[in-house]
Structure 1
Amino acid sequence: MLGPPWGTPAAAWVCDGRVIHVTEPALPQLVSLLLAYSPVALVCSTVRDRDDSTMIVKALLDRTDPMCSAFLDDVADALCESWFGCPRWTAQEIWWRALGNWAMVDGELSMRGVDVMSMPAPRATNTIRALLLKWAAGDETRVEKLTHDFDTPPARVAAKEAVRGVAVEEAAHDWNAVMALASKHR
């Protein structure tokens, strides 16, 4: 999914039929929330209405409620992809590296007249990614490792995709069995 200007940032999500509106914070706060240990901070801090935020926290504390951290990971993934224009784990990796080298990142971009913190999140993220890849450009192994680090989903996402892939494969096997039975009865 591409973020602005090619896509529309998320304005809301739904939980148990309840529409929960969100607001996109300014870039410095958004990056801080992106890098938080848990998706709870990002999800709750971007909810527009305090009642919705309270409902989310109560649901998390209520062990009988089906809302869990995995669900909030999915919500945070979708919000971040709409706001940063790339998967949450890619944005996290880019911004971790940028903040780890902030003096160099800010210095280089400032020398070029670029105020990355005044940019929309997708453009700032793309600018920093390009800068980090430019710095590694002389060493193909470093470029490949950096690209791999940016684009490799976390284990929780890879596991979910593997399960989804098995389900698709199983459905294909069932379809093949149905077709085989149908061809026998012609």
Structure 2
Amino acid sequence: MEAFLISTGVVALGEMGDKTQLLAILLAAKFRRPWPIIAGIFIATLVNHGLAGLVGGGIASLLGPDLLRWVIGVSFLGMAVWMLIPDEIDDTEANKYRFGVFWTTVIAFFLAEMGDKTQIATVALAARYPELLAVVLGTTLGMMLANVPAVFVGDAISKKIPMKLVHGVAGGIFGILGLLTLFNVGNFF
């Protein structure tokens, strides 16, 4: 139960303001069809975090704690830079409709989670706790707790907050997390 609860909490909190939460807002504002978006988020997260959990123990044991800290820290810094680059989802409307709302969401969320801090957290949690299923279900629930409300308020938020500002703030947060991780402040991982 500890693995499930910690995994849920870590990912739900870590997902606040994350690019996938922004993606949920953007998809909801564009498509205005919450249920296929929510189903797509669930499937993409379950598959992505399931794969991350499977490799978690192996990666952690191969890299060791110091090298893992550097890999995670550099990944966070990379995400900070990435957040400052405008998302293609804002510009490529034709691709959104080619696959339909559900499959567009599955593909977008699966790819957005690749190398994301919540995916890295899933790898680290799976390395820490032997209960793989509890970790994957917990991280998936954490993603849903953070992203489902974003889907339902996406339209309202996207009308009131400029996406450039959201990207800038998120980039700053990733940069700070990257530096804190690299310098081992707070022992994040």
TM-score by length of 2: 0.24
Q: Which of 1 and 2 has higher RCO (CA within 8 Å, sep 6+)?
A: 2
Going by fraction, where is helix more abundant, 1 or 2? 2
Going by fraction, where is strand more abundant, 1 or 2? 1
